[in-house]
């Protein structure tokens, strides 16, 4: 999570949406960069609302705008599947080595996913709070041009954004039946992503 105080902007770090690269590039421009612990680095809206919003309000900034990047759900799950193939996880319960993508997707649709498929939910991450704390600006992960244009407008010229934290390349093939199950189980994520307009050219 990055806070740009003068711009009254907070960039939430939705996992597997490329925000790590933006943190590397824009960190020097930020007033606050939260990198640890992961529970705060990847603070969802409810955690931002509980821990950060009250502090910012007391410091005279009750009007912080939240920005979140949302990835197409199947692609997002594919990124998690690839990421958990890395050698460092071999032999651990969170590893996806030896599992088909179909098996991973099926597990990710369970009410209580196995450790390797327990990756959260983008729609839950950005769920609005009863007190009115909401994400003000949504961007599709695939719309990097729109996101960069927005940040340039709010922050000024941006440095080059590097590729960072890239998952291993793998072919991701899912059966039609499993895709239907994922779309049904994660309907809120698909609806959210599909509701976000493409802003870039």
Q: What is the pLDDT of residues 154-197, one digit of tens each?
A: 999 988 887 655 656 677 889 999 999 999 999 999 999 999 99
Helix (H), strand (E), coil (C) string for the chain: CEEECCCCEEECCCCCCCHHHHHHHHHHHCCEECCCCHHHHCCCHHHHHHHHHHHHHHCCCCCCEEEEEECCHHHHHHHHHHHCCCHHHCCCCCCCCCCCHHHHHHHHCCCCCCHHHCCCCHHHHCCCCCCCCCCCEEEECCCHHHHHHHHHHHHCCCCCCCCCCCCCCCCCCCCHHHHHHHHHHCHHHHHHHHHCCCCCC
Alpha-carbon Rg for the chain, nearest whole angstrom, is 17
Instruction: Point out the residues of the chain with pLDDT beneath 50.
Output: none
Cα separation of 161 and 113, whole Å?
Answer: 34
For residue 128, give both structure tokens: 């609005």
User: Domain map of the chain by residue range?
Assistant: 2-195
User: Quick check: 13 and 93 in contact, CB under 8 A?
Assistant: no
CB atoms < 10 A from the CB of 9, how many?
A: 21
Q: Which CATH class is domain 2-195?
A: alpha beta
- Tokens representing 12? 């939430």
pLDDT at 172: 87
Q: What is the pLDDT of residue 138?
A: 98
> What sign does the CA torsion over 187, 179, 45, 27 have?
negative
**pLDDT for the residue 122:** 98
CA–CA gap between residue 18 and residue 107 (Å, rounded): 24
């Amino acid at each position: 999570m990055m806070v740009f105080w003068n711009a009254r902007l907070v960039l939430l770090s939705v996992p597997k949406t490329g925000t790590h690269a933006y943190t590397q590039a824009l960190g020097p421009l930020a007033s606050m960069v939260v990198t640890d612990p992961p529970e705060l680095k990847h603070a969802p809206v409810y955690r931002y609302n509980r821990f950060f919003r009250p502090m910012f309000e007391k410091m005279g900034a009750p009007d912080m705008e939240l920005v979140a990047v949302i990835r197409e759900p199947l692609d997002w799950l594919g990124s998690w599947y690839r990421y958990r193939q890395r050698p460092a996880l071999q032999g651990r319960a969170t590893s996806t080595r030896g599992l088909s993508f179909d098996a991973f997707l099926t597990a990710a649709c369970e009410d209580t996913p196995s450790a390797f498929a327990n990756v959260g939910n983008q729609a839950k991450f950005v769920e609005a709070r009863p007190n009115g704390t909401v994400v003000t600006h949504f961007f599709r992960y695939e719309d990097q041009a729109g996101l960069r244009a927005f940040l340039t407008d709010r922050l000024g010229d941006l440095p080059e954004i590097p590729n960072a934290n890239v998952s291993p390349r793998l072919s991701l093939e899912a059966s039609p039946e499993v895709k239907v199950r994922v779309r049904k189980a994660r309907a809120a994520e698909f609806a959210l992503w599909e509701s976000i307009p493409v802003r870039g050219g």
